[in-house]
Amino acid sequence: MTGAHSGTAVVVKRVDSGEADTGEFRDLARAAGYDVVSQVTQTRKEDPAYCIGEGKVAELAQVVEALEADTVLFDNSLGPYQTFNLGTELPDHVQVLDRFRLILEIFGQRARTKKAQLQVELATLRYELPRVEAKTSLAKRDERPGFMGLGEYDESREQDIKKRISRIRDELETIEETDEHRREQRRESGFDLVALAGYTNAGKSTLLRRLARDLDVDENEDRHPDLDTTAESEDRLFTTLGTTTRRMDMDSRNVLLTDTVGFVSNLPHWLVESFKSTLSEVYRADLVLLVVDVSDPIDEIHEKLVTSHDTLYERNEAPIVTVLNKVDKVDEAELAEKRRALSTLAPNPVAVSGMEDLNVESLKARIDTELPPYEHERLVVPMTDDTMSFVSWVHDHARVEEVDYGEQVVLEFEARPAVVERARAKAGELAQPA
């Protein structure tokens, strides 16, 4: 895992129209460890050579030199030639990073598990590949093997990247198969799987701690590398690149709650695709809690919900419940207005405050309602040496309604279909003559 930067940065943003808002991007820069010392913004159509206009480039160079900044961070996507051209107009020691390269840098700092590290590397290689391809193509066309450091090196680099992408995909596929097997084992053990999704800083980690208290999942030697006994709830972006799984504090059924990576606005499809292994915790859940910060402006909430739905509905089959978090930061009138404005995207949301523990019990009740229904079963088994351990197993994996002990033992219980199926098989083995 790479450490955070401690350099100084100038933030740049170009917009086609309106005013350039750098608030979230400055947060991203700080999350990466940069000290943002200034910003340069411009409203104009994109300049194909520099992204911003030539005059702004000159202004940027003056700001960078005056403040002795070592990094320029663009809240735009830069092409390979734009990055190169900007570099020629800035002091030699200054690096230029666009929005996606900065996000990948933050992901790299947060990658604590093998799976997360592989996903970051995959995303980084996917970012680099079209840039290397473009350089190679131009070198061949212009027959200038030395241009921009091009030539045979870049052609070889292109092939190396493609081979490495293929190997990482194979490794991640193996990890995903292991993860899917683990999820099925949990379901067979009677657990419902609930995933927290949503944007960074929506309060997912705080909500996890409120819903799950301090009940950690014990996996013994088979402890999954993404499993953590603590969930951070710091006010910074990307604290949960990996996943944190805890057992929920619920009496009615056994539930495992997983906090997943936070969404960030304006992520390209290739970047989201690189993290599908982590997002599979969302895609393969029994229920998704989509958490939004209700104190955000209504237009921002609307945009975040639309983007989240695009990401989730692509593969997700589980029901999605929208959770309007941080109600302690808005009054009743504002909350009611936002409910009305969001009714199409979030027809029946649950409004809570994870920080203040407001309405969390209602959220638990909603979770219980939305999860797949349990099957009712009545089993009659003979009283044998193994019967009591069977009864104990049913208690651990199901919601037992009644146990009647006599010459035979009668159990009535409710459980997930997979658990009912296993219970019938175990009961059948007990009924077999020794």
Q: Is 220 annotated as a binding residue?
A: no
Listed in sequence order, the residues at least 6 apart from 373 whose beta carbon sits closer than 8 Å to its beta carbon are none
What is 18-77 written as a DSSP string?
Answer: S----HHHHHHHHHTT-EEEEEEEEESPPBTTTBS-HHHHHHHHHHHHHHT-SEEEESS-
- Both tokens of residue 25? 């991007």
The reply, when asked if residue 200 is annotated as ligand binding, is: yes
The answer on whether 259 is annotated among ligand-binding residues is: yes
**327 annotated as ligand-binding:** yes
By the 8 A CB rule, do 256 and 284 touch? Answer: no
261 marked as binding residue? yes
Residue 205, annotated as binding a ligand: yes
- Establish whether 199 is an annotated binding residue: yes
Asked if 339 and 349 count as a contact pair (C-beta separation under 8 A), the reply is yes
353 annotated to a ligand binding site: no
In 3D, which of 384, 368, 375, 370 has the Cα closest to residue 426?
A: 384
Say if residue 198 carries a ligand binding annotation.
Answer: yes
Cβ contacts of 414-419, under 8 Å, gap ≥ 24: 414/374, 414/375, 414/376, 414/377, 415/190, 415/374, 415/375, 415/377, 416/187, 416/190, 416/192, 416/372, 416/374, 416/375, 417/372, 417/375, 418/187, 418/188, 419/188, 419/189, 419/190
Residue 188 dihedral angles phi and psi, to the nearest 5°: -65, -25
Flag whether 272 is marked binding. Answer: no
Give the pairing type, strands 71-74 and 35-43: unpaired
33 is in an annotated binding site: no
Residue 204 annotated as part of some ligand binding site: yes
| Binding annotation for GTP | 198-205, 259-262, 325-328
| Binding annotation | 198-205, 240, 259-262, 325-328
| Binding annotation for Mg(2+) | 205, 240
